[in-house]
Structure 1
Amino acid sequence: MASTSADLFDDLVRCETRLYNAADQRLRAAHGLAASQFEFLRYLRGHAEARVADVATNFAAGFGAISKGMDRLERAGWIAREQHPRDRRSSVLVLTAAGSSVLEQAEETFGALLAELVEPAADAADLAATARVLARLRSALEEARVGTPAG
């Protein structure tokens, strides 16, 4: 039986859910860090001058939910809000030294989890091909603004 886009969707969603839940459990136990917080910290490290709206766009999530998530990261001492260098009405989100430290430690845990759960299921060529297909699909969906929250 030929694989269909519906089969791909089903497998993709189930794999994502299981991997995300496993990452969440492992990161919480080892670092007191939720998987979503880990993702946010990784994004902020790679995106200088990111604002809440930028994070919301990247994660296809609502502005309010992301703002609350950033509040929690700020209370934990992992990020700080600073005045935008070119727009006095806006603030940027920056990693603190504590945020960088917990992120560095969490990345080791996350890498070990992926090595344990993902790498045995596919060789390097399969993983590279899958990553290319998903990157193209993500890019097309983002460009067409598919799945963008209304609020």
Structure 2
Amino acid sequence: MTDLTSLFSNLVRLETRLYNALDARLKAEHDLPLGQFEFLRFIAASGTTRVQDLAHEFAITVGATSKGVDRLEAAGRCRRTANPEDRRSSLVEATPAGLEILAAATPTVEAELVARIGTVLPEQSVEDLATLLSTISAGLGGSRRPT
């Protein structure tokens, strides 16, 4: 049987290395931190979303999410408006500038992931890994976004 503690350690270190590499490249080439890229990606896919939905998706606190949205808004990459259905929340949508930088940064992220994952694993293994990680995430209460 596989040592699950070692598996966990490997997953954490892999995630940290990938995150740091992607973050550094996005900052260098687009002046866009990876966290903002991820938020923009979710916001753009949703059209309009609540801060609470972002927090749930990324498994972080509403306070941390709100601060992240504040940074995106200050950079002109999203706008927050009052939620007409719930005065306690606001709706977030990407601005044209946010969509523009997302479009410019997406190929950079994809190229970096191909270089770091796609050249190491065969395509079928990548698909299998994506399925397994999605299944584990769902079992932990995370989302099951299609890959």
What's the CA shift string for 1:12-36, capped at 9, x where partnerless?
1111000000000000001111011
Pairwise mapping of residues 39-58 of structure 1 onto structure 2 (< 5 A)? 39-58=38-57
For the pair 1:26 / 2:32, whether they are aligned, the reply is: no
Structure with more contact order per residue of length (Cα contacts < 8 Å, sep ≥ 6) = 1
- Structure-1-length-normalised TM-score: 0.88
Q: CA deviation at 1:129?
A: 0.7
In the alignment, which residue of structure 2 is the partner of 1:121? 120
Aligned residue pairs total 142
Map 1:71-150 to 2 at 5 A: 71-142=70-141
Contact 2:47 2:94 in 1 (8 A): no
- Is residue 49–residue 84 contact of structure 1 (8 Å, CA) maintained in 2? no
Matched with 1:3 is 2
Unaligned runs of 5+ in 1: 144-151
| In 2, Cα distance between equivalents of 1:62 and 1:90 | 15
Q: Counterpart of 2:39 in structure 1: which amino acid? A: F
Q: Find the residue that maps to 1:104 and give its secondary structure.
A: helix
Q: Distance in 2 between the 1:133 and 1:90 partners?
A: 34
In structure 2, distance between residues paired with 1:141 and 1:89: 28
Query: Hey, what does 2:68 align to over in structure 1?
Result: 69
Name the Cα RMSD after superposition: 1.4
Task: Output the CA distance in 1 between the equivalents of 2:5 and 2:132.
Answer: 16
Task: Quote how far apart the aligned CAs of 1:138 are.
Answer: 0.4
Q: What do residues 66-105 of structure 1 show as CA deviations (whole Å, max 9, x unaligned)?
A: 1111001000000001232433443200000000000011
- Give the unaligned 5+ runs of structure 2: 143-147
Deviations 1:19-68 (A, max 9, x none): 00000000000111101111000011112331111111111111111111
